[in-house]
Amino acid sequence: MATADIDRRQFTRYSLPASYSRIMVRPLDSDEFQWEGHAYDISKGGIRFELDRGVEPGTQVALRIDLPQNSMERSTSRRSVFVFANVIWMSDPDEIGPVRLAAAFTRFAREGDEEQLQGRLSTGRYALAA
C-alpha cells in the first residue's frame, strides 16, 4: 500500500452542510469572536473551514461551531460547541475567494461540549467525509 493511501486521522470525519454550519473564530488574545465563516467537515479531533481571511498555521484560536439542527431535535438543546484549537493548515491566502483552513482541537471549552459533538456526529445524519 502506498503511503498516500494511509489515512492518518485518529477520528472519523463527517461532512457538514457549509451554508448551515457557521463557525466563529477568535485568536486567544481577544475576548470577542472576530471572524465568521463556514465549516466543511468535522471530527471529534478537528475541523476544516473557510474564512474571508487567513490565519497562520500554528495560531491558537477559540472556535464556536454552530451545528445544524433538524426538526427532530429539541429546541432547548445546545446548538453551539466551543473548542480551543491550533490552526494546522491554510490554503493560499492570495487565491481569489475564501481561505480554507484546518484546525486540530486541543480541548473543549465547556463541560458537555465534547459529548454533544460526539452525540451529533453519531446520529447517522452526516455523511462520511473523504
Number of domains in the chain: 1
Q: Which domain holds residue 97?
A: 13-121
Q: How much is the pLDDT for 74?
A: 55
What's the CATH number where 21 sits? 2.40.10.220
Place of cell 447517522: 124
Q: How much is the pLDDT for 70?
A: 63
The answer as to whether 130 is a domain residue is no
Q: Give CA angle at 61 (57, 62), nearest 5°.
A: 150
Q: How much is the pLDDT for 106?
A: 98
List helix spans (H) across the chain. Answer: 113-121
Q: How much is the pLDDT for 2?
A: 46
The answer as to whether 21 is a domain residue is yes
The answer as to whether 126 is a domain residue is no
The answer as to whether 74 is a domain residue is yes
Q: How much is the pLDDT for 88?
A: 97
Weakly modelled stretches of the chain, pLDDT under 70: 1-9, 18, 70-78
Place of cell 454552530: 66
**Three-state secondary-structure class, residue 113:** helix
Q: Do 125 and 21 contact (CB within 8 A), yes or no?
A: no
The answer as to whether 2 is a domain residue is no
